Amino acid sequence: MISIATVCGMGLGTSMMLASQIRTLLKGENIDAQVQAIDLGSFKSQPSDIVVTTSGMASNVQGTKSIVVLIDNLIDKNEVRTKVLDAINEFNSK
């Protein structure tokens, strides 16, 4: 099962919103994955296959072995959908 972490500074706002969007997306696509919203402090101790965060957090997630998805516009569901599905396809092709 693919593990996806959504990351923001405190693990409450942005990461929760992204996690909710991704769960809805995956359900609609019939993709089985574990999605968890985590704070930046916990991010490195909880490895995931895919990390989703905002472009502003890019420098904070560099150096991870995970596939990193950077979202520019949280409200743009099409951007989230396209980038997350691309990352899942990349993960599945490894």
Q: Which two tokens stand for residue 49?
A: 């296959």
Q: Name which of 8, 16, 17 is nearest 43 in CA terms.
A: 8
pLDDT at 11 over 70: no
| pLDDT, the chain, mean | 92
Consecutive H or E run containing 75? none
Rounded to two decimals, the pTM is 0.93
Neighbours of 55 (CB within 10 A): 9
pLDDT in tens, 47-71: 899 999 999 989 988 888 899 999 9
Q: For the chain, what is the domain count?
A: 1
Q: Are strands 67-71 and 2-8 parallel, antiparallel or unpaired?
A: unpaired
Q: Domain containing 70 — which CATH number?
A: 3.40.50.2300
Domain housing 70:
2-92
pLDDT, tens only, 31-45: 999 999 999 888 888
